[in-house]
Chain A
Amino acid sequence: MVAVRDVAVRDVVRDVVAEVAPQELPLVDGLAGYDHETVVRRLSRAGARREPLGFGWGEIIGLVTPVLWLVLDQVAQRFADAAVDRTTSGVRGVLGRLRRGRRPPATIPELTEDERAELRRDVLDLFLRRGLDAETAAPLADAVLRRLAPGFAADRGASNPAE
């Protein structure tokens, strides 16, 4: 069961990309047909395929979308794990997930001011670890924080947190 104020990773990615790297929006559109797990699995499998008649293995291009999506997925997983630990029915919840073979919904809950400050540090750190340079990572982390601010949903209309 997803809380009403939780926001889906997919929505955060879309809004942040629209703000920071609008040229990548067609890619986010292209991902609309895939569920979150598929996107994460395939984005995690980085690297070019060695196929005949391709253009060749060029240099790695530094797009924001894959890094953003994977980092926010990590953040969502952390929140989900923390939530599981807090609940008395945690064991049952984990067993239930295992039985269904699915991960919890990739959402980020509404955050307090302190949590947001901590999240910014974490997100920035994750961006840097995934290879983004500081000049790109800092505005991106800020954009994420803006998107997760309490008033954002009201500004843009209520989003659908369910996946």
Chain B
Amino acid sequence: MAGTSRVDERALGAGTSVRFVLLVTLLVASSTLMVLYIGLAVFAYDGFSCGLAAGVDPERDPAVNVMAKRIVQWEAYRSCSDRYSAPPPGWWLVGYWALLVACVAVLFWVLPRWKARRGRVVPLTTVDRDGEMGRAVAELSTTAGLARPPRVVVDPTAMVTDGAVVFGRTGRATMRLDGGLLVTRTTDPPRFRAVLLHELAHIANRDVTITYLTVAMWRVYVAVALPPFLAWCAWRFHTTSGSTLWSAEAPIVTRSLLITCLLAVLVYLARNDVLHSREVYADLAAVRWGADPRGWSTPVVDPVDGRARRAVRAFAQLWHPHPRWDVRRAALADPAVLFGVRALPLALTGVAAAVMHTHIAYAITQYYLVTTWMQHAVALLAAALVAGVVGTALWRAVVYAVLTGQPAPSSVRAGLWLGLGLAAGGAAAGQGTVNEWLPARPWTLVLVVVAATAFTWWLSQCARLWVAAWRGRSLRGVALLNVSTAALALSLWFLWWQSMGVGFAAGWSFDVAGLRDYQLTYFVGRELDHPPASALDHAYVLTMVMGSVMANPPLAVLAIVGLWVTPLLAWLPRAGTEAPRWMRRAVGDSDPVPPWQPLPGLRRVLVPALVGGAAGGLAAVALSAWLHADARTGPSATAAMVTFLAGNILVLLVAAAVAAVAARLAVPAYRLPAALIAGGTATLFAFAAVVVLRASDGCVPALTLGEGPCDWNLAVTQRLLTLTLLPALPLAVLVAGVVALPRSRATPRPGRPRSMALARTCALALVATGLAVAGVHAVQRAPYAARLPEAREAQRFGQQSGYKVVDAPVSARSLAMQVDAWRDLGGDELMDRFYHGRRDLFAAVTTAVRAGRTLDQMDDVRPLCVEISDFARAAVRYFRVPDAEAQKLWEKFVVLAWQGSQNCQKALDADQADQFNTAMRTLATAQDTSHAIDDRIDALLDQGGL
């Protein structure tokens, strides 16, 4: 800071509101989850039985088995859950939220009245005989820009200290003065003024409402939401701790308790952290209004020697609502503390976001609200709060570094702390653990840390770029643009992690050939041959799994394209020779403006993009030529399709990589934004080359892949976009980012203002193209994103994508519980249904025969046969029997019932008496098989001691 002027702490927003919103959202999400647990206990028949009926072994099944057994029987599981473990009705939740809001409102209203009650404080007039104090408060309120002075009361018994406090709400605040302050007015007037102006600054800075709202919310959470939940935990411990289910329940119940304790600590620390910064803001405002810094001169703190002691003191400070005095005094001279990127808030934000995201995702799953829009909205909420908190901190740090000429703080360190918070919060909230204590693959949590680091890197690099480019009065608008872009991209990561990453962490292994065939059937619309999985298939399937998040969310392309469009926009403002206006405001008109460097020319970014696009075009031509030659050797249709798709994705990635390498060399000072812009743009250029090649297929014999004539067939664009560009987009960004990782050794060449009309036109055209692709995708996917996925669809994905069940021996006790649940939750009812249907059928036939009616006169029999067919359809949709032998009998039973009922209908239609008799005998055999199933299950129950 030496040699530079004091930086105005208001150069950018403080980000306090978004941090409070994060706390509030966390409290609401946590309260809702707690009431859901209780609601399920009250309303549900039995939360675990559907899992047992699906064959889940509560003793030994790892999380991946629990997931697999549910997903491959999703229709049955969903139907069972609807019937036996439905969440509480929606009005329950609404009523609960209304209760919480009402309690918060009442407490918020009562708190200031309680603190300012008679017997606790006295009005200022009681101790201010000459009215001097009242006049001083009024005068200082005017200085602080308040429309009216606050109500002032005095606590005359607080004689040990000479502080003050404000409470109530911002529009109607009450200021309580310590008795000691009345004496300080005469003994130490600068201190008196400092205290009063500091408190008035809290009112002017709008801290009062938001602080006491948080206080009220926290107390309502502790007093209203927590006790029933703790009772639920105790009840679960009491009822299931001795049962077989306990090994599966213990992690869930314990984790719920743990997360509640963690939440208490988290909210308290996060609140204190925000309050620390609000205190410094109030101090700075007070000094700006004329308070004497000597007012902050007490007390003198003994310096602490030694790293351990300093750490202990720092830890103790976390629990205090005020920052240390030496920190406050230092901030009056240099507000660096308000521009720092500190580890604790980052980690806390990560934990809070992960817990909140997991909780809300659980709630919407319980209510089957899992449309793509809803899932993305939840992810976006978590991401927006993270980006708001972290983005503001990083932007402030970059701005401060630029204004003071210091190096910007490490975004990698920031990312690591954020990522650790996200990983820890996710694991604690149950991501990838289901019924286990830890994820089966804990190393996958490293991906979370890497993603968080990429997020902070992008934010700080783009902040540097924009801070150098922007010339307007305020940076708030461009900071918001950048933070919004980062939030959207992070939401895509959250969405992917929640839908795929968590499964990986839990141990899910995908079947490459199965997933490949599923993908191709989905895209091509028909079944191809099924060759064994090759190395290329592995690469292709991995790419598709990574890019799977691009397929459904309408905003997915916008999220990815935004990562290079936003930095590209930084080149649009006209360059100038004078210092930017925001910089002038931040350092004050009279102070020297720090050295300032304009951006390098856009040509240095665009030329690499063209180079990359050209490389991609050449690669596309080479691929076509090779595929043309290879087609004559006759690979399988599936292999050819995979080669074509994977090859074209590779073409796009080659373009991105070449462009990124060239860009990081050309623009070393901003290597990440430059690599992203060049890589993203080159991907689009290369995609255009691929489209041209395929649209003109047949025109160049050596490049021809199809059998049609030479034509200009632009209809291929849509399929190529879905099959190649969409999965390639996130990978292209990833490749460009990896290329930009190492520091460039090239010396940055100074930028110079020049006529940039052509470059700006090109930039605008690229931005428009990127946004157009994003827009087309959004419009196309929007209708599907509002649709609830069919249970059958999810089941089909589960079956084809290779959810594998890990072999785990089942104890007799568990098996007995499983078959018991299977029979109890539907098996028994189905067998009864068959029994009654068959009995009615046989009775009707017997009556008809005794009455001497022939087959053509038995119209009343037909509906009874149809009913048995309906039973067979329902039985197919029900769970498999958890016991292998009983399952064989069940399959035989259902097949016999189906055959008997079908033959019955055919015989009646064709008037075939023999066929009808055979059908009746088949149904009789089915009945016997049903009894055998009962016998088998009874035997298993005996063996299991049930």
Measuring CB to CB, which residues of chain A are less than 8 angstroms from any residue of chain B? 23-24, 26-27, 29-34, 38-39, 42-43, 46-61, 63, 65-66
Contacts and interface: CB of A to CB of B under 8 A. Distances in A.
A31 B121 CA distance: 10
Given A51-B165, A53-B202, A54-B163, A59 B157 contact: no
B325 interface: yes
B182 A26 contact: yes
A53 B320 CA distance: 12
B156 interface: yes
B162 interface: yes
B257 to A, nearest CB: 27
Contacts of B215: 52
Given A27-B182, A31-B156, A43-B157, A48 B166 contact: no
30 contacts: A23-B186, A27-B156, A29-B126, A30-B154, A30-B156, A30-B182, A31-B156, A43-B157, A46-B160, A50-B321, A50-B322, A51-B321, A52-B271, A52-B275, A53-B165, A53-B207, A53-B275, A54-B322, A56-B163, A56-B322, A56-B328, A57-B161, A58-B161, A58-B162, A58-B299, A59-B299, A61-B161, A63-B159, A63-B180, A63-B183
A131 to B, nearest CB: 11
A48 B325 CA distance: 15
B278 interface: yes
Given A30-B126, A60-B160, A23 B183 contact: yes
Contacts of A55: 163-165, 194-195, 198-199
B121 to A, nearest CB: 9
A109 B182 CA distance: 32
Given A53-B207, A54-B322, A34 B163 contact: no
A27 B183 contact: yes
Contact of B163 (A26, A48, A63): A48
Contacts of A48: 158, 160-161, 163
B898 interface: no
A50 B271 CA distance: 13
Contact of A56 (B128, B187, B325): B325
Interface string B211-222: 110010000000
Nearest to A65: B159
Query: Taking each of A24, A53, A65, which has the highest tally of chain B beta carbons within 10 Å of its own beta carbon?
Result: A53
Band of interface residues on B = 35 or more
Interface string B85-129: 000000000000000000000000000000000010010001111
Q: Shortest 3 CB-CB distances between A and B: which pairs? A: A30-B156, A59-B299, A42-B157
Contacts of A52: 165, 211-212, 215, 271, 275, 321
Given A58-B299, A61-B180, A66 B321 contact: no
Contact of A27 (B127, B163, B194): B127
A38 to B, nearest CB: 8
Contacts of A33: 119, 122, 126
A72 B189 CA distance: 30
B165 A54 contact: yes
B279 A61 contact: no
Contacts of B127: 26-27, 29-30
A1 B202 CA distance: 52
B208 interface: yes
Contact of A50 (B159, B194, B320): B320
A30 B153 CA distance: 11
Contacts of A43: 157, 159
A61 B184 contact: yes
A45 B165 CA distance: 18
Interface string B146-188: 0000000010111111111111000000000001101110110
Contacts of A53: 165-167, 199, 202, 207-208, 211, 275, 278
Contacts of B165: 49, 51-55
A49 B115 CA distance: 12
Contacts of A46: 160
Contacts of B179: 27, 30
B590 interface: no
Given A53-B275, A63-B183, 10 more contacts: A27-B183, A32-B126, A33-B126, A34-B156, A42-B157, A53-B278, A55-B195, A55-B199, A60-B160, A63-B160
Contact of A34 (B119, B164, B279, B299): B119
Query: Taking each of A32, A39, A51, which has the highest tally of chain B beta carbons within 10 Å of its own beta carbon?
Result: A51
Query: Taking each of B122, B157, B162, B322, which has the highest tally of chain A beta carbons within 10 Å of its own beta carbon?
Result: B157
A34 B208 contact: no
A61 B183 contact: yes
B595 to A, nearest CB: 38
A56 B159 contact: no
B298 interface: yes
Contacts of B298: 58-59
A34 B159 CA distance: 15
A30 B183 contact: no
Contacts of B166: 53
A145 B322 CA distance: 43
Contacts of A42: 157
Nearest to A23: B186
A49 B299 CA distance: 16
Given A39-B157, A42-B157, A43-B159, A57 B322 contact: yes
A92 B128 CA distance: 45
A58 B163 contact: yes
A13 B207 CA distance: 40
Query: Taking each of B167, B195, B322, B325, which has the highest tally of chain A beta carbons within 10 Å of its own beta carbon?
Result: B322
Contacts of A23: 183, 186-187
Contacts of B159: 27, 43, 61, 63, 65-66
Query: Taking each of A50, A56, A60, which has the highest tally of chain B beta carbons within 10 Å of its own beta carbon?
Result: A56
Contacts of B160: 46-48, 60-61, 63, 66
A66 B165 CA distance: 21
A56 B199 CA distance: 10
